[in-house]
Structures are given as C-alpha cells and as structure tokens.
Structure 1
Amino acid sequence: MTVSDAHLVPGQLVPSQRRGDDVVDWLTNGTRDERFIDNIFAQMCIRLQRAGIPVKRASLHVQINHPLWLGARILWSDGMEGSEIDRIDYDVGARSEFIGSPVSEIFHGADEIRETLTRDRALGRQHAVYDDMRAQGLTDYVAWPIFHTLGKRHCVTFATDRRDGFDEADIDALKQLLPVLALVSEIRIKNRLARTLLETYVGPHAGEMVLAGATRRGSGTTVRAAIMICDLRDFTRISDNWPRDDVIDLLNGYFDAMVEPITQHGGEILKFIGDGLLAIFPLSDPQACAKLLYAVTDARKAMAALNARNAEIGRAPLNYGIGVHLGDVMYGNIGSLSRLDFTVIGPAVNMASRMEALTKQVGRNVLLSRAFAEHLEGEFALERVGEYPVRGFSEPIELFAYEG
C-alpha cells in the first residue's frame, strides 16, 4: 500500500518497516509514464524524505558509453524539485576528482562505501569529495553499486545531515530500493542511449522516425529539400601514404569543420561516405536555402582554421568540393531484409553528386544549381559559371559559384 502525500505530516516518521516499502511501491508502479531517470531520481529522494529517511543529498552515477562522453552524474540536494545532470568525459579516470573517490571505489569492485563525516578527518578516507560534504554540514555518507544487465556497474550515493547519521532502519530501507532502482534506471538509460545512438548514426529527424515505427523496408516519404554533398580532395593519396591514426585524425577534423555548421543551421547529416557527406535542408523551413549557404560560409571558415592548425604541424592544406541542388527526394528505409539504411535517394541527389564532381573541372569549391539559386532568398554573391553536361542527364545544368 502506498502512503499518499495527504497522509504525510511534515516531520512525522512512518514506521521503520514501512519506510522503504512505500517508495519501492512507487518506483515499481508509479513511474511508468515518466521517461527520464533524472526526474524519477529526484522524486524518489523527495519521497524518501517524506517517508522519514533523512536524505539530504543523493547522486546517481551511470556509465553509458555515449559516443562523446563516458557517462553522467545525476545530483539531487535537499530543496531541489528536480536534479542536475553533469556529463562525464572519457578522460575522467585520469582526474584527481575521480581517482580515489567513492564512486571510483564502487566502479572498481567495492560493495559498499560508508563514511562517518563527523569523525576526525585524519581517521577517515582522504578525498576532496568528503571535505566538500563536511563543508555542507553532512554527517554520514553511503554508496552502493547498482547492477544492470550482465553485471554492468553503476553507483548510487546518499548523504544526511542528521546529527547521528543514518540509523540501521534507514540503511535497510535504502538497500531495499537498489534492485528496483536498477531496473527502473536501466530501462530509462537504455531508452535514452538508443535515442542518442540513432541521433548520432542516422540523424535526429531520421532517429525520431525510426523510434516512431518507420522501420518497414520500403517505407518512406517524399521530401522537397536543398541537398548538399561534400567530398574531400586527394583522400586516396592521403590514406595510402599517411599513418592510419593520422588519417583518422584528419578525417575527424574535416568532418567537425563541415558538420557542426550544418547541424547548427538546421541541416541534417544523412550519410558519411568515406571522405564525403550527404546532408539535406528540408524546404518545410522557408529559410532552408539561406541557412544552407550560412552553413557553407561557416564551414569554409572552419576549414581555413583547420588548415592553419595543420600547417603548424607540417600537414598540407585540405581541399574539398561541395555540390548543392534542390528537388524532391525519397526519404526512408532502403536495403536488404536484414540490413536497412535510412537515407534519401532520387535524381536530385544524383545531380548534387555530379555537381560536386564538377567542382574539380570548374575549379570552384562550391557549385550551386539554378534550381537552388532561384529558390534562394537573401543577399548572397553568386557568380554564374556556365552550363555543363552532366553524366546520366540529358540536359546540361547551369551552375553558379559561391565564394562566401
């Protein structure tokens, strides 16, 4: 039976044998409609207080192996309705704030860390986190592992400012929570990780569509969009002659310079093809074409900065070509029965690809089609460079160069 908020009198403790039961029941049955573990964790701590368990501070440390960061810390303190989330970088293991910390001990195999913060500092564990908690007036601290599938370790901690610390009934009640918190947190963390990985590997819009059920082969929709294809020059020579790690570092720097401006201006990266990329700016946004050129402008600046950094370590400058076209594309699932790709196809994509190849012939980094130029709004300096035959198309295409 769950004790409702109406039955809780401030300062009144419920019987010790029921302190954890009510929160366990809520975690099990009352969190089904909450997607985010940070919200659940904050509400759990508030309910623990209402149940008479004197939690003043709590944290949940999860390792999720996100492409950019190792994990996250969810921190709750007394008086907070929600909680704070801090991302943890992959290099945390070499930092003083982690080395020798209770979370480090838990991750490395400890089953429990208990520290009485009121005793002589010289007699206790030595780490800055304990000094910080003493400075906050906390008196007792406990940390435990919580286990996800296949024994993957995470960590939860609780601290109190009660003069005598946690009593045995408090500790028992908190331990009761661990298996249920493990189940509840694993579901939410894996849901979040699935969403993040889809955003990382197929893009945010395509990821949302996949999660919404657009997973049937051949399913898709027609989208009118500005299409951008970019390719790095002389990559075959570089990859044949450079050390592997230098090639990977070069590609990552190049893609950072190109991708960040595209995503910041509302474009979506759909595919990396070796040293090339395919992006679209859907025309559902009236400013899509202008935003694409703003992205190109920022990408050119980023590439110039990257080349300057490369020059300092003796690397030759990187050159690239960009083809930009506009048209209808089929946006959806394509592939075999067991391996699908969420991408765009259509003559407009093929044309953008041919235009990118023409940048070598024309001697310009960025070529735009007339279809794109006619749809463009705003003050942009475009230079007509002529009409050129395009392989696979019966009619030549009129091209414009952009040097912004």
Structure 2
Amino acid sequence: MSIGPDADTGMRDKVRVMTDTLIHHLKDAPPPPLGPSDTEACVSGQIADAIIASGLTDRPIGDLIQTVMDRLTQAGVPLARMMVGFRILHPLFDGMTIAWTAENGVEVEYYQALTEDNPDFTLSPFYWMIKGQVPELQLRIDRDALVDKFPLLQRLRDQGFTGYYARVVTFGEGPMQVGTTDGLALSWSTKSPAGFSERDVCIMQQILAPLSLALRVMIKDQIAKNTLNAFHGPLVGERILSGTVKRGDGERLAAALWYSDLRNSTGLADQLSVEGFLELLNVYFDCAAGAVIEEGGQVLDIVGDAILAFFPADAAGEEAAATSALRAALKAQERLVEAKAAECKCAVEINFGVGVHFGDVVFGNAGTRERLKFGVIGRAVNEVARTQDMSKLLGQPIVATDQVVSRARPDAGLRLNDMGLHDLRGIPAAKRLWALRHNADIAPANAG
C-alpha cells in the first residue's frame, strides 16, 4: 500500500494513529523476561562489579574472598568450600592459601617448603594441574575415580562433598610453572546432591577474570609488603609504600636505641666454614634481633654482625619505649642462655654485647640520587654504638645510658648497677652508664 501526496487523507490518519499507538505501547511495556544465559550474565556482572569495588579498596585479601562467596551463595550457587592458593616472596614461607567454608568463613594459612620433595604439595590437585598443564578440572567427588589420586579430595568425599571445580590462572603469556609466583589456583566445592549445575559453573567461569585480576593486584601488593618488611622492617616498609621515597624525606622523633655486636666475629669467620659461620650468625640474629621484634621494636639495620634497632616513642610514649628496649636486651641474652642450655653447637661460640640509649634521631632517606637508604641518623645513633663498645670494656653483657634508664618504668623489675661516669669515644660529654643484669647465668660479654 502506498501513501503518497494523492492518497486518501483518512487512510493516512489511520496509519499515523496505529504507529503512534505502537510506539507508546513499546515505551511503556516492561522489558522481555531474561533467558537463562541473560540471567547468568546479569548475576555474574553484579558479582564482577562487587569484586572490582572490593579490589579498589585497601582492605585485606580475605575480605575480597568473603565478598565473592557471599555474592555467589546469594545468587544460588551451592558452595560449601572455596580455596585459592599462590606463592609469595617471604623468607619464612613459600606459599599462602585463603580458604572459605560455610561453617568457618575465611581462614588464611602460610606454607613452607612447597617443593617437589614435599608429598603434601605433590599429591595436591593444584600441583597435578600445574605440572600437567591442565587449566581446568571438574569432578564429581562422590563418583569419579580420579578422586582416589588426591588425599585432599578423598577427605572432602568423606566429609560429604559431591562436586569440585578448579582452575589454574597464569599471570602472563606462558603456562604457569611449579615454583613461580606468576599465577594462582582456585577451587570451588559443593555438598549439593546434584553437584554443580551448568549454571553454577557458568557463573564461576564468568567471574574468574575479574576475581583473578583483583587477586593478582592484591598478591603483588602482599609480596611487596612482605619483601619490604623482611629487608627493612614493617615501619620502614610502611613509609616506603606510603610514598616516603624521595631523598631528604623524613622526620625527627624520640626513640630508645638498641645496638648489639657479636664478639670475636673475625676469629669465628676464620675458624668456621662459610656454611658454619652463616649458621652461627643466624643463631645470633635469632637471639638478638628476635628479642627486639618480640618486644615490638624495629630492626633497622644489620651491618655484618652488628644490629641497630629502635623503639619509637611517638605512639607508645618514652616510658614504654625505654622499658621495651631494656627488656629486649635482657631477652636477647636470655635467648642465648637457652640456646646454650639446649646444646646448640653454634650457641657455644656466641657472645655479644648490647648497648641501649635514648635520644632524638632523624628517621628518613639519605644517600645518592640512585641509591637511598632509609634509617636513623644523628648523634644518638653514634652514642648507642659507643655504649655497646663499653659493654666490652666493662665486661658486662648489657650497658645502658642514664637517658634510657631514667625513662624506664620504676616497677619494671630491672636489675641495674651504677657503673659511674664514662667517656665515650667521639662523644664530648661523659655519660653515666648502668649495667643491666638478669641473673648470674648470663656470661660476661668480654673480649673473647
């Protein structure tokens, strides 16, 4: 039918009315119902938005996992367990897992020795998938024969789990390899009698990319924090990550300073093998630096066999900082006594002195434009080192200045002997020194 200039006016009016009525109906009509694939995409999109929002915050990684699991279960995915595992750079641990269960929520665990000599690792589904380049694994735990290959899945079967879905995600172009930090592995498990449906797996697959991206960012952040904390201490690490990275950035603060030095280190290095001397150093560091960390102090520097630490007074107060530093000195010597009592071969050869002082320092960055060092600078640093030197001359394991002793809590139960005034090398004014002793079992830190 043609409606031209010569067409009947009444017919044109009827067509116009019909068209207007149809447009009005389409504008006001509700959208058509979503099909199964549209529903899954909508649910997955909402969960992906929640993942991105959580990933943009500075909240712990466990909070992200809890958010994801809450959203998945609310969407009807019958999850009873989730696990994500990845490697980290840490001097004590090889890997980290975050597990979620319907009963206990999120739990974080660290693992040592994720090597091919560890059967707990090599008999895991994740190892099998990475080693065999199997990116995806879906099983019926209650019926598939492959379950018998993995002790973990056998335990899950005994606990009533029915379905298992796992993925290995690689960070980069190539496949993930055993022993690298370039990826992660995730698994979901259910106790539903029907296992996982196609809809369940589809939703989990669709959120995998945003979840892996958020986890990758958080894992890299965790690795950076672990590395900085291990090599610089948490206080320095936090400041570096927060942006205190330019030459000259810093602050002035009051602190209790702590300095220890191993006796006869040159002779021991000559007598022992490289491995033996390093083992001895580690025992010494466990005694000395370990005591500082236990008392809440910050190990700032390890130069050869000397340890520089401090206890900032800004938050805790001068009394708490001074008391903690003196207690750390006592604990360091007590740890050595315990190591010797336990017949540790290395400990027999170890003696060290500790100096404790209190003063103002500059805490910040100094160095060249290409190589900076974050630490403490000032006269007080020299004074604590010279105080430690006096422990050797006075034949005392711990020597403290009047500045730190006078600030310690009166009821701290410290045994102090007044050693009188002494000139410290390079320090203009004589200082009153105190010997701090715990019991007669602590050997004198003399020139051995």
Q: Which residue in the other structure is 2:248 paired with?
A: 218
Deviations 1:242-281 (A, max 9, x none): 1112222111111111122212222211111111111112
Give the drift of 1:59. 0.7
Q: Which residue in the other structure is 2:274 paired with?
A: 244
Partners of 1:392 and 1:216 lie apart in 2 by 31
Give the drift of 1:337. 0.8
Q: Which residue in the other structure is 1:195 paired with?
A: 225
Please state if 1:56 is matched with 2:80: yes
Partners of 2:191 and 2:348 lie apart in 1 by 60
Deviations 1:3-58 (A, max 9, x none): xxxxxxxxx99834544333223323554225222211122122122223222211
Give the drift of 1:315. 6.6
Partners of 1:51 and 1:76 lie apart in 2 by 17
Q: Which residue in the other structure is 1:147 paired with?
A: 170
User: CA 1:332–1:61 in structure 2 vs 1: closer, same or farther (change >3 Å)?
Assistant: same
* Aligned 1:335-354 pairs, distance under 5 A: 335-354=367-386
Partners of 2:87 and 2:346 lie apart in 1 by 38
Q: 1:370 aligns with which of 402, 410, 424?
A: 402
Deviations 1:309-357 (A, max 9, x none): 4x45487431111112221111111111122111111111101111212
User: CA 1:362–1:369 in structure 2 vs 1: closer, same or farther (change >3 Å)?
Assistant: same
Partners of 1:66 and 1:312 lie apart in 2 by 26
Q: Which residue in the other structure is 2:22 paired with?
A: none
Partners of 2:347 and 2:415 lie apart in 1 by 32
3-state DSSP class of the match of 1:33?
coil
3-state DSSP class of the match of 2:399?
strand
Contact 1:265 1:294 (C-alpha < 8 Å) held by counterparts: yes
Give the drift of 1:183. 0.9
Aligned length: 390
Q: Which residue in the other structure is 1:8 paired with?
A: none
3-state DSSP class of the match of 1:164?
coil
User: CA 1:164–1:239 in structure 2 vs 1: closer, same or farther (change >3 Å)?
Assistant: same
Partners of 1:157 and 1:314 lie apart in 2 by 45
What amino acid maps onto 1:196 in structure 2? N
3-state DSSP class of the match of 1:226?
strand
What amino acid maps onto 2:398 in structure 1? V
User: CA 1:25–1:312 in structure 2 vs 1: closer, same or farther (change >3 Å)?
Assistant: closer
Q: Which residue in the other structure is 1:7 paired with?
A: none
Contact 1:34 1:40 (C-alpha < 8 Å) held by counterparts: no
* Aligned 1:241-390 pairs, distance under 5 A: 241-284=271-314, 285=317, 286-309=319-342, 311=343, 313=345, 316-378=348-410, 379-390=413-424
User: CA 1:294–1:312 in structure 2 vs 1: closer, same or farther (change >3 Å)?
Assistant: closer
Contact 1:35 1:188 (C-alpha < 8 Å) held by counterparts: no
Partners of 2:99 and 2:344 lie apart in 1 by 42
What amino acid maps onto 1:25 in structure 2? D
Deviations 1:107-162 (A, max 9, x none): 32322222211216x56432221122112221111211022246513100011222
Give the drift of 1:301. 1.0
Contact 2:256 2:359 (C-alpha < 8 Å) held by counterparts: yes
3-state DSSP class of the match of 1:302?
helix
Partners of 2:216 and 2:424 lie apart in 1 by 53
* Aligned 1:102-117 pairs, distance under 5 A: 102-108=125-131, 109-117=133-141
What amino acid maps onto 1:278 in structure 2? L
Deviations 1:350-378 (A, max 9, x none): 01111212222222221112222222332
Q: 2:186 aligns with which of 156, 179, 189?
A: 156
- Deviating 4+ runs (over 6 angstroms): none
Partners of 2:240 and 2:190 lie apart in 1 by 44
3-state DSSP class of the match of 1:375?
coil
Partners of 2:115 and 2:390 lie apart in 1 by 46
3-state DSSP class of the match of 1:350?
helix
Partners of 1:29 and 1:371 lie apart in 2 by 50
Partners of 1:40 and 1:373 lie apart in 2 by 47
Q: 2:101 aligns with which of 37, 58, 77?
A: 77
- Larger CA deviation: 255-264 vs 345-354: 255-264
3-state DSSP class of the match of 1:97?
helix
Partners of 2:229 and 2:386 lie apart in 1 by 28
What amino acid maps onto 1:145 in structure 2? V
Contact 1:225 1:326 (C-alpha < 8 Å) held by counterparts: yes
User: CA 1:273–1:221 in structure 2 vs 1: closer, same or farther (change >3 Å)?
Assistant: same
* 5+ residue gaps, structure 1: 1-11
The sequence identity of aligned pairs, in percent, is: 28
3-state DSSP class of the match of 1:355?
helix
* 5+ residue gaps, structure 2: 1-35, 177-181, 439-448
User: CA 1:312–1:269 in structure 2 vs 1: closer, same or farther (change >3 Å)?
Assistant: closer
User: CA 1:28–1:376 in structure 2 vs 1: closer, same or farther (change >3 Å)?
Assistant: closer
Larger radius of gyration: 2
Partners of 1:63 and 1:27 lie apart in 2 by 22
